[in-house]
Amino acid sequence: MASSWSSEGTRAPFVDFGVDDDEALIDGANRRLGVPPETAVRVTPTLLRAVADAFHDAFREETPAGEVPPAVDAALDDAVAWSGREFDRVGGATVHVRNVLLPLFYDEFAGFTRAYTGESSAPEFDRDDE
């Protein structure tokens, strides 16, 4: 499953918030999930919410202000919804946490953050279908 976003030619989406190392967000989310990195899991709405919460906490830890701006929270919520639809579309896949789930979720999260901070536009998403 590929991301809905293209990051070619864009800078890291969290630089304006003081987070220069995107990999630190993925590593931090992985630690917070408490799942061994080699684990494969079935993607569920509950898991995606836990992933978003893990990224939220990792972001708060990485940013110098120690706060999560509303645009980032909104991007996390939309990444949960978007990712859930994408995984449902492919039959609720079982995926590797560190090598597949977290990077794919991160791409959606980063893409929505770019859209909400004016760096790109969000993909078509009908919120009424939730």
Q: Residue 107: which of 26, 15, 48 has the closest Cα?
A: 26
What rounded mean pLDDT belongs to the chain?
80
Confidence category of residue 120, pLDDT binned at 50, 70, 90: low
Q: Give me the residues paired with residue 41 across strands.
A: 95
Task: Express each pLDDT in 103-116 by its tens digit.
Answer: 999 999 999 988 88
pLDDT at 7 over 70: no
Taking the C-alpha atoms of residue 11 and residue 45, their distance in angstroms, rounded to an integer, is 30
Tell me what the mean pLDDT of segment 6-11 comes to. 44
Give the sign of the dihedral formed by CA 78, CA 84, CA 87, CA 33. positive
Q: Where are the domains of the chain?
A: 17-120
Q: Which amino acid is at 67?
A: E
Angle of helix 45-62 relative to helix 22-33, nearest 10 degrees? 130
